[in-house]
Structure formats: C-alpha cells, structure tokens
Structure 1
Amino acid sequence: MHEDTLKNFLGFTASISTILQFLTGALVCQKVVTNKSTGDQSALPFVCGCLSTSLWLRYGFFIKDTSIILVNSIGAALFFGYVITFALYSIRKFFQGVVCRQVSGCALTLTFILIYIQNVASPPIAQRHLGLICTLMTILFFGAPLVSLMHVLKVRSTESLPFPIILSSFLVSAQWMVYGVLLGDPYVQIPNFLGCVLTGFQLCLFYCFAQGSKGYSSELI
C-alpha cells in the first residue's frame, strides 16, 4: 500500500511538474516578444514539443487515460502558441524559412503516424507501436536544444539554449524516471533516463560557459 501511495503521489506531482515545464516556454517567448526578434534561438525545441505532446495526446485517448489526455492537451496548445510566436518574430527570411520547414515536417510526420496507427489491424500492436514512437519523440524533445551545440561551442556562450526549458526538463524527466522504476515500465524508464542524461549535459554547458552566458541566464531566471 505504501508503494501504491508513492506511485500515486509521484504520478500527480510529475503531472503538475510537466504542466509547469510546458509553461516555462512562455519565458523564452516573452524574451522574444520584448526583443522583437528570435535572435539565435531555434524553434526546433517547440516544434518537437508540439509533435511529442500531440502524439502522447493520441496515446492517452488510445488507452483512455485522463491524466495523459489532460497534460498533453495543455502541452499541445502551449507549444503550438510558442511556435506561432517564433514564426511571427522571425524577421529574417532565412530563419523564417527554417521555421516553416520545421512546422511542415512536424505536421506531415504527425499526419502520417496517425494514419498508420488508425489502419493497424490489431489494437495491441497499434498501442505498442504508438508507445515506441512516443518514446522516440520524447527523446527528440529532450535533445532538441542540442541542435545549437556547434554554435554554443564555437562562441563559448549558451545564449542560444533555452535555459528554463532545459532545467525544467531535467527535473521532470527525473520524476518520471523514478515513477517508471516504481511501475517497472521500461517505456517510462528509458526515455526519461535518457532525458536526464541529455538535459544534464546541456546544464553542464551553462556551468562551463557561465561567463559568456551570464547576462542571458540572469534575464531568464
């Protein structure tokens, strides 16, 4: 009974933390709106977040889990808003083209996956395949900020990395990883363990290049 109580507690707190994590994107968008430019920041973390939450939302409907449906409904709506914000403030044509290609790729990928899942004959197979796809999308979401890694290493500054999202991703993935261990569910354990590793590495970059990123970090905290 004690273990069940702990599972329920972790499930509840992880859900709340996940919603709060989604809301940290508003800090990044606030900086974009204030500066009236996206600067060197990439929209890919938000595009990946939109795709990931949309797929988990479909998975939630598939298994009829209210918590997954609620969390990812909120997440999908927020990330869609963040992507729109980046598109509106991408004043440079080249970057705007990149955002459009990323959004188009996200929409095509989501459509293809949903059509595929809908036409799989066996529900258990469809559930397993969708679970694996959601796992891959979650890992992609955690690693998306690394798209700016070469730029970060070159300029020795983490200005292009969204610190609030990375920090909250680390905390949330740690919670879900522990929850997955208690459940004995590898689909929950593995992506969140990798999420801890990826986001932990990104946080180390903020420590390594603290001097070059000092001004940016203080603006976001």
Structure 2
Amino acid sequence: MAETIRLVVAVLGNAASMSVYAAPLVTFKRVITKKSTEEFSCIPYIIGLLNCLLYTWYGLPVVSCKWENFPLVTVNGIGIVLELSYVLIYFWFASNKGKVKVAMTAIPVVLIFCIIAAVSAFVFHDHRHRKLLVGSIGLVISVTLYGSPLVVMKKVIQTKSVEFMPLTLSVCSSISSSLWLIYGLLIRDIFVAGPNVLGLPLSILQLVLHCIYPKRSVVEEPSKEDQEKGNLEKVDMEMGKAETNVTSHMTQNS
C-alpha cells in the first residue's frame, strides 16, 4: 500500500514538474515574437539547468542505490532539455551585454556540475557518501532556485504589475512543490523534501501577489536623454512653424 502511494505521488509529481518546466514556453514564445528578452532574467533558467543536472545525476545508479530514485531521473532529464533550450533562446535574442551575462553565468555552472560529477564518481566509492555530496549541493541549488523568484516578486511590488511573473508558472510551482514535499517525506529523503519546504511558501506568496496586483504593461519612464531629445524636437517643430508663418506673411505683403 505504501509503495503504491509513493508511486502515485511520484507520477503526479512528475506531471506537475513537467508543467513547471513547460510553463516558460509562453514566455519564450513572446521573446521569439518580439525578438527581445525585455525585462525577463536568464538567471532562474540557468540555475534551473544546474538543478536538473544535479538531481538527474543524483537519481542515477552511480549515486543512488540501483534505480531507487528513478522518478528524479525522468523528470529532471526532460528538465535538462527544456532549461537548456530556454537558455539558448535567451542567448540568441539577448543584447550583446545580455549575451556576455549569459555566457559568464552558464559556463561556470556547467563546469561546477562536471567537477561535482567527477568527484562523486571517482573520489567516493560508496553510495552513501556520493548521495551526501550530490544531495547536499543539490539542496543548496534548489533553495537558490526557489529563492530566485524573490527578485521578480520585488519587481512586481515596485511596479504593481505581475506582467513578468507568469501565473501558469506560479500555479504549477505550488502544485509541484506540494507533491515533491510529500514524496520526499514518504521516502524519508531530506534532499528531495528539503528544497520544497522553502519552495511551497514562496510559490504560495507568488499566487498572493497575483491576487493583489493586476496584469498590466509596465511603462518605463523616459530617460533624461530621451526627454532632452524630445524637447529639442519640440523646439525644432515650433521654429519650423514660425518660419512658415513669416514666409506666408511676407508672401501676402508682396
């Protein structure tokens, strides 16, 4: 009976996590349509990629005992493909400055994972220590991943708009966190349950912000240079009108 419950929760958790990984498709459809990354940040997707890499590695028989954590492999394996796709799309449509930022963040992330994988595979020779190493780092990264929306939430409060915090992602995150928290408790694995202890309240907070603030476009205030340019254009237009009036008056007098 207990095994059946764990299996059902794992399947539901996989489905919910797939929804979380697929939710940004709406965002990146907008990025592709507008050919601009606008105010969206690439950091959550890069951290998400590292998180998927670590938990896929954690679930493989190299780290875990046989296939005891197979559900982690399936969901995070798909997550790797999707998160990597998002990072590449973001890089393609980002400004030159944005491209540098993506490269300077993504390359160290991939190197960190390679080092962790190599150390866990060749330095430690038992599953217990391998799980402890990979799971501990995965726990920290997951907490960071769940904490990354705090930056977006700060922007929501400042602009009083949830335009850059998709509702679908917030809903899917709350469901996914709930299910994986239950699954982690059922299998008594702190490295699975731990991140969701923080992830669940943060996801709920995002839903609260959606209830408080409407979705409206954020209109950025013009910069000082734009204001000065506008004033010069206004002066030029007024001078042009004055010259037209003088010319017209001289023509009539002649």
Question: Structure 2 length normalisation: TM-score?
Answer: 0.76
Q: Deviations over 1:72-119 (max 9, x none)?
A: 2111011101110111111x2222222222212312221222233233
Alignment CA distance shift 1:42-1:198 (3 Å) = same
The structure in which a higher percent of residues are helix is 1
Alignment of 1:40-51 (within 5 A): 40-51=39-50
State the match for 1:25 in structure 2: 24
Contact (CA 8 Å) 1:146, 1:202: kept in 2 or not?
no
Q: Which whole-Å CA distance do the structure 2 matches of 1:97 and 1:160 have between them?
A: 22
Q: Select 2:102's aligned residue among 72, 96, 99.
A: 99
Q: Deviations over 1:42-97 (max 9, x none)?
A: 0111111111001111111122433322222111011101110111111x222222
Q: Which whole-Å CA distance do the structure 2 matches of 1:153 and 1:6 have between them?
A: 40
Q: Which whole-Å CA distance do the structure 1 matches of 2:103 and 2:211 have between them?
A: 33
- 1:110 and 2:113 matched: yes
State the match for 2:156 in structure 1: 152
Contact (CA 8 Å) 2:45, 2:87: kept in 1 or not?
yes
Structure 1: gaps of 5 or more residues? 217-221
Alignment CA distance shift 1:19-1:48 (3 Å) = same
Please give the root-mean-square deviation of Cα atoms over the aligned residues, in Å.
2.0
SS at match of 1:138: helix
State the match for 2:210 in structure 1: 206
> Percent identity of the aligned residues?
25
State the match for 1:70 in structure 2: 74
Q: CA deviation at 1:193?
A: 1.7
Q: Select 2:141's aligned residue among 128, 137, 141.
A: 137
State the match for 2:15 in structure 1: 16
User: Could you tell which deviates more after superposition, 4-13 or 118-127?
Assistant: 118-127
User: Could you tell which deviates more after superposition, 128-137 or 50-59?
Assistant: 128-137
Q: Which whole-Å CA distance do the structure 2 matches of 1:68 and 1:187 have between them?
A: 11
Contact (CA 8 Å) 1:27, 1:164: kept in 2 or not?
no
SS at match of 2:124: coil
What is the total number of aligned residue pairs between the two structures? 212
Structure 2: gaps of 5 or more residues? 219-254
Q: Which whole-Å CA distance do the structure 2 matches of 1:143 and 1:167 have between them?
A: 16
Q: Deviations over 1:120-165 (max 9, x none)?
A: 3342212111111112222222222223344333322222324332
Contact (CA 8 Å) 1:57, 1:69: kept in 2 or not?
yes
- Paired residue type of 1:76: I
Q: CA deviation at 1:28?
A: 1.4
Q: Which has the higher contact order (CA 8 A, sep 6+)?
A: 1
Q: Select 1:192's aligned residue among 192, 196, 200.
A: 196
Q: CA deviation at 1:215?
A: 5.8
Q: Which whole-Å CA distance do the structure 1 matches of 2:52 and 2:195 have between them?
A: 14
- Paired residue type of 2:112: T
Alignment CA distance shift 1:163-1:109 (3 Å) = farther
Contact (CA 8 Å) 2:138, 2:191: kept in 1 or not?
no
